[in-house]
Amino acid sequence: MVGYKLNGYKNLTKDKSVVSYLTPDKVYIPLKNGSNEDSTELVSKGNHVFKNMHIAHLKGPLKINIISSISGKVIGIEEKTFFNGQKVKCLVIENDYKEDIENNASLKKNITSYSKEEFLDCLLDAGIVGMGGASFPTYIKYSTDKKIKTLIINAVECEPYITTDYRMLFDYTEEILETIDAIMKINKIDNAILAIKKTHKSLINHINNYIGSYDHIILKTVPNLYPMGWERLLIEKTIGVEYDKLPIEQGIVVNNVSTIYAIYEALKYGKRVTERIITFSGDMLVEPVNMLVKTGTLLKDIMKEFKFKKGNFNIIAGGPMMGSIVDDDLVISPSLNCVLFLEKKCDVEVTECIRCGKCAKVCPARLSPVLIKDYLKDITMLKKLKADNCISCGLCSYICPSNIDVRSYTEKARDIVRKAG
Amino acid sequence: MSTLIKDKNSTDKIMTRLLIALTSIILFAVYKNGIIPYINNKIEFVDIFYPLLFILLPALITFSSELVFGLLVKKKRGKELFEFAKNSYAFFPGLFLGLICPITLPISILIIGALAASILGKLVYGGFGQNIFNPALIGYVVIVFSYSLFFSSNAYLNKYEVDTIGGSTPLTTIKSLDSSISYNTIVEPYGNLGDFFLGFIPGSVGEVSSVLCIIAFIYLALTKTIKWQIPVFYIGTVFVLTIIIGIILGQGIYYPLVYLLSGGLLFGAIFMATDPVTSPVTKPGMVLGAIIMGILTVFLRYNSSFPEGVATSILVMNLLTFILDRIGFNIKFSLKKCIIPVLILICIMVSVVVVSTDKFNNDNTVDSKFKLISKKIENNKVIYEASEKGYSSNIKAIIEIENGKITKFEIKEHNESFYSMVEKENYITKLINNASNLDEVDTVSGATFTSGALKKLLINVISDYEKEGDVVR
C-alpha cells in the first residue's frame, strides 16, 4: 500500500467547540486565488463597501469573484503574505463594525429547487473555491456536459493537526447531508460517497445517526494514511477507478466538506465566502483551537488572542507536510485551512543517501524519488520515471532516514519534465 | 523546503537496529569458536576472545580507513570527521568481513581483506553511497582469490571441530560424495538437522547459526530496516530449486534443508544482499534480483569449485542492480507483461535443475575420480594398478586379487596429510577383511576423504574384477 501512517495530532482540537474572531480592525482581501492574479478591482480607495459585496474579479479560464468580508471603507492596496509564503496584493478595508450586507436576490426557499444554471451562477457568484487547500473554483467542477455519476465528499483531512472538516461535519451534519442531497438532485448525480478516516470512530457513529434518511449517500471509511485525501488516491480507494487528468473524465466530482458547507450557505442564505473555520494548532500554542475567522484577517491580529509557550517557533500556513513557512503578515484566504505554530528545531544533519528505497515505497504517485534524484540531468529518463506526476505531498522528505529533502529533487524534476512538455 | 515534521526512522536508528541484530550472532560466534573449544580443553583461556578480535579488528580497520579518507579527501575535522565516518556505516564492511571468513584465517590476511573492503570496495568509488558492490564482499573476494589456500574446506573448522568432525563443511561433503548421497552421509557426520538449524556445524565465524539469522530477519523486517523481499525471494528460490533436485535424486526433505541452512545462505541473504546501497530499490527489481541470485547460487553450488556460491551471487546482483531498477520501474504489475519474463525465469530454473542433476546421474555409472592405470593377469591372479582422488592428492595403489580374494593392497603413492590416521586404524586391513560388504565399513573420522577414497578405490577395482570375472576364470 502506498502512503504512510502519520501521527495525526488531531486530538489537540477535534473535540473542542469552534470559537470565533470576527472583529478585525482592518481586513486585507488577497487579489489572488491559486496562481490566478489577473485581477480587476471593482472598488477604489475611499469607496464604501458592504459585506458580501463583489470587490474584484479574477479573469481567465479560472475566473472567480473576490468578496468583501466586512462593511467599511477601502483605504488602499498593500502587500501581505499569501499562504504559499509569497507576497500578494491585498485590498485593505477599514471595518465600520456595522456588518451591512449587500442584498442578494434570487433566493429559493428550498435549496433543491435551483436549476443547474442557477446553481452554477450561484457558486460563481459566491466565490466558492476548493476549501481543502486546492483553491480550484468549484463551479468549474460542475460545469460539464458529461454525466456526473458520483459525488465524493472528501472528509479525510489526511494532513496532521487539521480538524476543520471534522468539526464542520460534526456540527453541521444535517446541513451538509441536505446540501449533498440537493447537489445530487440539481446535477442529477446517481450516488454520493462520504469518505471518512476509519479511525474517526465517534464521527462515524454520529453521522450514522443521520445518514439513514438519505438513500443515495453512502458513508465509506478509508485507511488512516497520508495522503489519503489526495483525489486520485481517494477515488481509487473508494470506488476503484483510475483517471488520466481530471476525475470528471470518469464522471466523478470531489468536494471537500467545508466547500459543501459554503455551497449550503450560498444556496440557502445567499451568503458568499466571507468566513471560514481554521485550525490553529501546534506544539507552541497553549490552547490549540478551531476558529471561525473572516477572510482577509491578518494573522498578527488573530495571534493577539493566543497564548504561546516560551521559545522560538515557525508559523506554517497549511499542514506540516505540504504547508509553507510564513510570517505573521499572513492573510486568511478562502482555501487556507490550518495555521501551525511549531517549535523551531535546530537543523537536522543531512547524510548521504543510502538507497534504502523508502521514498519509492511510500510515494502515493508511485514514483521512485531515489532514482529521479539520480537522473536529474537526464530528461528522457525523468520522463520515463514519470517525474511530472509528483504531487509535492512531501512523504519522501518525511520518510528519508538521511534527512534529505527528497521532495525538492522530485519537484525540480517535475518542473523540468513539464517545461519540456 | 523540507516537511516540517520528520519520521523518526533516522540513519542512526537503522545502524543501531543492524547492530542489535548482529549482537546475538557475534556472541554465538564467540560461544562456538571460543567457549566450546575452551571447555573441551582445545584452547587457552585468552583464546576465548580471539573470535571477538577476529570480528572487531577488521571493523576497526574499515572505520579508521574511512577516517583517513574523511580527513584527506573530504577535509573533515574533529567531531565532524567522526560523524562522517559514523554516518558512512564505516565499521559494517569490516564487521561483515570478519563474520564471513573462516576462523583459521591468519589475522594478517584478514587485515588485508578489511583494507581491500574499505578502499577497493568503497572509497575508490567516492565513499559511502557511491559504491556499486558490497564492500565486505569485495574484501572477501580479494582475499579468497589471493590466498585461496586459507579457504580450503577444512579451514572452516575451529580447534574443537577439527577433532570431532571429519574434515570439511557440509556443502563440501555433498560435493565430494557424488552419487552416494543419503541422510547418513550428508547430515550424520555433523549430528542432526537441529545442529544445522542452531549452527553447530563447521562454517564461517558468524554465519552458521540459522536460527539467529532468522530471528534477526524477523526483527529487521518488522522494524522495516531491510528490504524483506530480497531474502524471502532469494532463500525461497534456492529452497524450491533444491527441493526439486532432491526429489529428482530421490532424497528427503533433509536435502533442501541442508542447502538452506549451510554455506552462509541465510546470513548472506539477510545481511549482505539487503545492503541498501548496492541492492535494487524498486520492488520488481528486488524480487527479480533475488530470484536471479537464488538460481545462480544453486547453479554455482552444483557446478563450480566453490561450494557456497552466495558471495558470487550477491556480487552479480550488485552488478545488475542498475539494470534491475531500470526494469523495475517500467513494470506496472499486469499479468500479461509478466508472462514472458516468468517463462524465461522458469526455463532458466529448469535448465539449472537439469544441469545439476545430470552431473549426479552420470556419476552413478562412471566415477571420474577413479583411474585404472594398468591390469595384468597372471594365472589366477589379477594385478591392478589404479588411482583415486583423495583429499589433496591422487592415491595410487596396487591391488592383487586371486580367486576372488584380495591378496595385496599396497599404497604406492599419496600426499594425504591425514594418512597417518588411516594407518593408525589399520583401515586397509579392515577394508580387505570386509571386501564382500564394503558399504558397511565406516570411514575414518578425521580423515573422511582419504579413507573414503581408499574405499572407493577398492569398490571400483572389485566391480571391474567382477565384470571381467569370466575371462579370468
A241 and A373 inside one domain: no
Close Cβ partners of A391 (under 8 Å, ≥ 6 residues apart): A227, A230, A364, A365
Q: Which of B40-54, B200-214, B369-383 has the lowest mean pLDDT?
A: B369-383
Cα A129 to its chain centre, rounded Å, is 9
Nearest beta carbon to residue B11 from set A314, A323, A401: A401
Q: How far apart are CA B379 and CA B188, in angstroms?
A: 44
Residue A400 to residues A350, A390, B6, B32, B85, Cα–Cα distance (Å): 10, 16, 8, 39, 19
pLDDT tens digits for A211-270?
Answer: 988 989 999 999 999 999 999 999 999 999 989 888 999 999 999 999 999 999 999 988
Q: Is A346 near chain B, with CB under 8 Å? A: no
Domains and CATH numbers, chain B: 10-164 (no CATH), 168-201+209-366 (no CATH), 370-472 (3.90.1010)
Q: What is the pLDDT of residue B472?
A: 46
Q: B343, B356 in Cβ contact below 8 A?
A: no
B167, three cell numbers: 574434515
CATH number for position A180: 3.40.50.11540
pLDDT above 90 for A3: no
Q: What is the pLDDT of residue B438?
A: 77
Q: What is the pLDDT of residue A288?
A: 96
Indicate the SS3 state at residue B413.
Answer: strand
Q: What is the pLDDT of residue A104?
A: 64
Q: Is A410 near chain B, with CB under 8 Å? A: no
ipTM summary value: 0.75
B78, three cell numbers: 574533529
Contact residues, chain A, for B278 at CB < 8 Å: 355
For residue A312, being part of any structural domain is answered with no
Domain end marker among A216, A239, A269: A269
Calculate how close chain B gets to A189, using CA atoms only, in Å. 33
Query: How many residues are there in chain A?
Result: 421
pLDDT tens digits for A80-94?
Answer: 999 999 999 999 999
Q: Which residue is listed with cell 492574479?
A: A37
Nearest beta carbon to residue A352 from set B3, B13, B129: B129
Higher pLDDT, A30 or B363: A30
A398, three cell numbers: 518525511
Give the pLDDT band of residue B166 (cuts 50, 70, 90). low
Q: B279, B227 in Cβ contact below 8 A?
A: yes
For testing the chain B interface, which of A283, A312, A355 should be mutated: the one with the most B CBs within 10 Å? A355
Q: How far apart are CA A373 and CA B379, in angstroms?
A: 85
Indicate the SS3 state at residue B75.
Answer: coil
CB spacing of A354 vs B1 below 8 angstroms:
no
Q: How far apart are CA B449 and CA B304, in angstroms?
A: 19
One DSSP character per residue, A375-393 reads: TTT-HHHHHHTTGGG----
Q: A281, A9 in Cβ contact below 8 A?
A: yes
Q: What is the pLDDT of residue B397?
A: 87
Close Cβ partners of A11 (under 8 Å, ≥ 6 residues apart): none
Q: What is the pLDDT of residue A106?
A: 66
Residue A80 to residues A127, A128, B213, B324, B464, Cα–Cα distance (Å): 21, 22, 60, 50, 103
Nearest beta carbon to residue A355 from set B11, B224, B276: B276
Structural domain boundaries enclosing A246: 111-269
Close Cβ partners of B148 (under 8 Å, ≥ 6 residues apart): none
A262 and A162 inside one domain: yes
A359, three cell numbers: 521514498
Q: Is A353 near chain B, with CB under 8 Å? A: yes
pLDDT tens digits for B291-324?
Answer: 999 999 999 988 877 777 899 999 999 999 988 8
Q: A195, A154 in Cβ contact below 8 A?
A: yes
Q: Which of A193-207, B107-121, B368-382, B399-413 has the lowest mean pLDDT?
A: B368-382
Q: Which of A110-114, A250-254, A273-277 has the lowest mean pLDDT?
A: A110-114
For residue A391, being part of any structural domain is answered with yes
Close Cβ partners of B440 (under 8 Å, ≥ 6 residues apart): B434
Q: Is A403 near chain B, with CB under 8 Å? A: yes
A265 and A362 inside one domain: no
What is the average per-residue pLDDT within B151-156? 77
What is the average per-residue pLDDT within A105-130? 88
Close Cβ partners of B378 (under 8 Å, ≥ 6 residues apart): none
Calculate how close chain B gets to A372, using CA atoms only, in Å. 11
As a whole-number percent, the residues of chain B with pLDDT over 70 amount to 93
Higher pLDDT, B22 or B408: B22
A118 and A251 inside one domain: yes
- Helices A201-211 & A164-171 angle (0-180, nearest 10): 40
Nearest beta carbon to residue A397 from set B3, B283, B328: B3
For residue A375, being part of any structural domain is answered with yes
For residue A259, being part of any structural domain is answered with yes
Q: What is the pLDDT of residue B323?
A: 87
Q: A158, A225 in Cβ contact below 8 A?
A: yes
CB spacing of B329 vs A385 below 8 angstroms:
yes
Higher pLDDT, A101 or B109: B109
B85, three cell numbers: 565516518
Q: What is the pLDDT of residue B349?
A: 83
Asked whether the CA dihedral A386, A388, A392, A393 is positive or negative, the reply is negative
B199, three cell numbers: 549452527
Adjacent-strand bridge partners of A324: A317
Q: Is A312 exposed, middle or buried (0-12, 13-18, 19+ CB in 10 A)?
A: exposed
Long-range contacts formed by B122-127: CB under 8 A, 24+ apart: B122/B66, B122/B93, B123/B65, B123/B66, B123/B69, B123/B73, B127/A352, B127/B66, B127/B69, B127/B73, B127/B74, B127/B88
One DSSP character per residue, A219-245 reads: EEEE-S-BTTTSHHHHHHHHH----SS
Q: How many domains does chain A have?
A: 2
Adjacent-strand bridge partners of A220: A195
Residues 131 through 190 of chain A touching chain B, CB cutoff 8 Å: 160
Q: How far apart are CA A162 and CA A27, in angstroms?
A: 24
Give the pLDDT band of residue B457 (cuts 50, 70, 90). confident
Nearest beta carbon to residue A354 from set B7, B11, B283: B11
Q: What are phi and psi of A51, to 5 degrees?
A: -70, 150
Q: How far apart are CA B469 and CA B449, in angstroms?
A: 30
Q: Is A398 near chain B, with CB under 8 Å? A: yes
What is the average per-residue pLDDT within A97-103? 83
Q: How far apart are CA B443 and CA B173, in angstroms?
A: 13
Close Cβ partners of A184 (under 8 Å, ≥ 6 residues apart): A151, A190, A191, A192, A216, A217
Q: Which of A111-120, A260-269, B337-346 has the lowest mean pLDDT?
A: B337-346
Q: How far apart are CA B116 and CA B110, in angstroms?
A: 10
Q: Classify the phi-psi angles of A97: left when phi > 0, otherwise alpha if psi is within -120 to 50, otherwise beta.
A: left
Higher pLDDT, B420 or A45: A45
Which one-letter DSSP state was computed for residue B448?
Answer: H
Domain end marker among A214, A236, A269: A269
Rounded mean pLDDT of chain B? Answer: 85
CB spacing of A354 vs B282 below 8 angstroms:
no
As a whole-number percent, the residues of chain A with pLDDT over 70 amount to 99
Asked whether the CA dihedral A170, A172, A175, A176 is positive or negative, the reply is negative
A263 and A384 inside one domain: no
What's the alpha-carbon Rg for chain B, to the nearest Å? 26
Q: How far apart are CA A193 and CA A253, in angstroms?
A: 10
Angle (CA) B42 B48 B54, round 5°:
115
Which one-letter DSSP state was computed for residue A190?
Answer: S
Nearest beta carbon to residue A368 from set B10, B278, B281: B281
Nearest beta carbon to residue B3 from set A7, A349, A398: A398
Q: What is the pLDDT of residue A308?
A: 95
> CA-nearest residue of chain B to A387?
B329
Close Cβ partners of A378 (under 8 Å, ≥ 6 residues apart): none
For residue A240, being part of any structural domain is answered with yes
For residue A125, being part of any structural domain is answered with yes
pLDDT tens digits for B372-401?
Answer: 788 787 777 888 888 887 777 788 888 888
For residue A407, being part of any structural domain is answered with yes
Residues 318 through 337 of chain A touching chain B, CB cutoff 8 Å: 320-325
Indicate the SS3 state at residue B3.
Answer: coil
Q: How far apart are CA B115 and CA B132, in angstroms?
A: 17
Domain end marker among A224, A240, A269: A269
Q: Which of A67-81, B279-293, B441-455 has the lowest mean pLDDT?
A: B441-455
State the greatest distance between any 2 C-alpha atoms of chain B, in Å, as a whole number.
99
Q: What is the pLDDT of residue B145?
A: 87
> CA-nearest residue of chain B to A85?
B1
Order of all β-strands in the sheet with A19-21: A19-21, A289-294, A275-281, A338-343, A313-317, A324-326
Contact residues, chain A, for B1 at CB < 8 Å: 324-325, 405, 408
- Helices B210-222 & B11-30 angle (0-180, nearest 10): 170
Q: How far apart are CA A38 and CA A66, in angstroms?
A: 12
Asked whether the CA dihedral B46, B48, B54, B60 is positive or negative, the reply is negative
Asked whether the CA dihedral B139, B143, B144, B150 is positive or negative, the reply is negative
Close Cβ partners of A348 (under 8 Å, ≥ 6 residues apart): A403, B6
CB spacing of A358 vs B9 below 8 angstroms:
yes
Q: What is the pLDDT of residue B250?
A: 84
Which one-letter DSSP state was computed for residue B193?
Answer: H
Q: Which of B395, B129, B137, B393 is nearest to B277 (CA)?
A: B129
What is the average per-residue pLDDT within A369-398? 90
pLDDT tens digits for B252-279?
Answer: 889 999 999 988 899 999 999 999 899 9
CB spacing of B4 vs A399 below 8 angstroms:
no
For residue A416, being part of any structural domain is answered with yes
A372 and A259 inside one domain: no
Neighbours of B346 (CB within 10 A): 10
Q: What is the pLDDT of residue A352?
A: 84
